[in-house]
Amino acid sequence: MKKYCKITPEGTRDLLFEECLTYRNIEKLLAGVFQSRGFHEVITPGLEYYDVFSQGESSIPQEFMFKVTDNKGRLMVVRPDSTLPIARLTATRLQNELKPLRLFYTQKVYHNYPSLRGRNNEINQSGIELLGASGVRADLEVLSTAVEALSRCVPDYRIELGHAGFFRALAKELPIDDEVRETIRSSIEQKNYAALDTILDRLEQSQAVLAIRRLPRLFGGEEVFDEAFGLCSEIQEAQEPLEYLKGLYQKLAKLGMGNKLMIDLGIVHRNDYYSGIVFSGYVLGSGDAILSGGRYDRLLEAFDSPMPAIGFAIDINALTKLMMDRGNLPSQKSADVLIHGDDGYEIKALDYSNSMKMSGLCCENSVLQTREAAVDYAKTKKIPRVDFVGAEIETKLL
């Protein structure tokens, strides 16, 4: 017997029955939110050329991508991200469209994690991209859309808000190369205080070093800004993103989001990708972020179509698991009637089934050989009625 014919690849899994219903229900809820706010759906190919994802600062590390070649030997990847393909799409198919563009998607991405650590390689995401718009209005629109999307699915979420420019300005003050900066960034993201201290202890102590050392702990409400401003009082470039972030936080608080919103200046994931605000969404019971996004104003330059942009993605897999664990399941409705055609009356039974469905009933057609088997099946599946189609129509209530 072939070794792998009965298992799924690492990082993937099958979905069954109630899980599929929950999954599709979430997709429908999110699509409804996005469409109600003027976003239009796009779908990008599951296969893209490697070049799409190797765009300078916005590159995805190649070890995180599944690679294949086409019939001409050109390197391709299984889609690891939706934002970069949508940037490509915008710069080509939509370059002459009126800006801003409001796009949304629901599609799978594939990550080749060297060590899974409980992660999925196959992730279904739903998200939005607002392209061609900058400033506080655009940021508020995307953040309020994220809040509405999460609130339609779960009540106990929180949004953590940061700014990519803050870490970038602090790191710029340090005498380090790109490799060390990436190690620092990774240590902050993972809240690995020991690794961070080991690196920073080797550097001459300065205000920037002190601020970066505190970065993973700069988390909380509006009081975080007071400490952050104190830590970078001599670094003007770091104060500008803080001022913007504080103003945005105060505006969001006026929307009644105060108890759902936290400041986290330690959000530094892929800071070369993001240029402005960054944010993550968490739900009680899920350790990893359910939602992540931010502003990426420089990304479209790589496709010769510079424009500001901001967006986010929601992990539907994680949201589905969370709702399943809570027992928050859509009802799986049994058929209203099982229709069994006697020998020689199979076509008449199919016609009868179609007419019953037209009247609004959920009908299942019997594929069993006898009336007795059809009745036993209906009892097991909790179908309350069986209609036998022969020379006459006979109904049996169960």
pLDDT in tens, 273-318: 789 999 999 998 777 899 999 999 999 999 999 999 999 999 999 9
Total domains in the chain come to 3
Do 278 and 184 fall into the same domain?
A: yes
Q: Which tokens hold the place of 314?
A: 């929601």
Do 44 and 97 fall into the same domain?
A: yes
Is 213 domain-assigned?
yes
81 marked as binding residue:
yes
Do 277 and 291 fall into the same domain?
A: no
Of 70-74, 172-176, 268-272, highest mean pLDDT: 70-74
Do 289 and 149 fall into the same domain?
A: yes
Q: Which tokens hold the place of 144?
A: 């309020």
336 marked as binding residue:
no
The pLDDT assigned to 6 comes to 86
Is 197 domain-assigned?
yes
Structural contact between residues 86 and 42, judged by C-beta atoms closer than 8 angstroms: yes
Is 20 domain-assigned?
yes
Q: How many CA atoms, within 13 angstroms, populate the side-chain half-sphere of residue 101?
A: 21
Do 170 and 149 fall into the same domain?
A: no
**Centroid of chain to Cα 254:** 27
Over residues 316-375, the pLDDT tens digits come to 999 998 888 887 777 677 899 999 999 999 999 999 999 999 998 999 999 999 999 999
Give the global pTM: 0.89
- CATH assignment at residue 314: 3.30.930.10
Do 254 and 177 fall into the same domain?
A: yes
Do 325 and 347 fall into the same domain?
A: no
Please name the amino acid found at residue 219.
F
Mode of pairing for the β-strands spanning 40-41 and 101-110:
parallel
Over residues 228-257, the pLDDT tens digits come to 999 888 888 999 999 999 999 999 988 877
- As to burial, measured by CB atoms within 10 angstroms (0-12 exposed, 13-18 middle, 19+ buried), residue 19 is middle
Is 196 domain-assigned?
yes
Residue 39: pLDDT band by 50, 70, 90 thresholds? Answer: very high
Is 1 domain-assigned?
no
The pLDDT assigned to 116 comes to 54
82 marked as binding residue:
yes
Look at residue 57 and tell me whether its pLDDT is greater than 70: no
274 marked as binding residue:
yes
Do 49 and 144 fall into the same domain?
A: yes
Q: Among residues 242, 259, 283, which one ends one of the domains?
A: 283
What value does the mean pLDDT of the chain take?
90
- CATH assignment at residue 359: 3.40.50.800
264 marked as binding residue:
no
Structural contact between residues 351 and 340, judged by C-beta atoms closer than 8 angstroms: no
The pLDDT assigned to 354 comes to 93
Is 3 domain-assigned?
no
Do 213 and 309 fall into the same domain?
A: no
Do 230 and 145 fall into the same domain?
A: no
Residue 5: pLDDT band by 50, 70, 90 thresholds? Answer: confident
Is 2 domain-assigned?
no
Look at residue 44 and tell me whether its pLDDT is greater than 80: yes
Is 4 domain-assigned?
no
Token pair 């309350």 is at which residue? 384
Residue 271: pLDDT band by 50, 70, 90 thresholds? Answer: low
The pLDDT assigned to 118 comes to 59
Domain boundaries, position 359: 337-397
352 marked as binding residue:
no
Do 328 and 377 fall into the same domain?
A: no
The pLDDT assigned to 182 comes to 83
Do 161 and 218 fall into the same domain?
A: yes
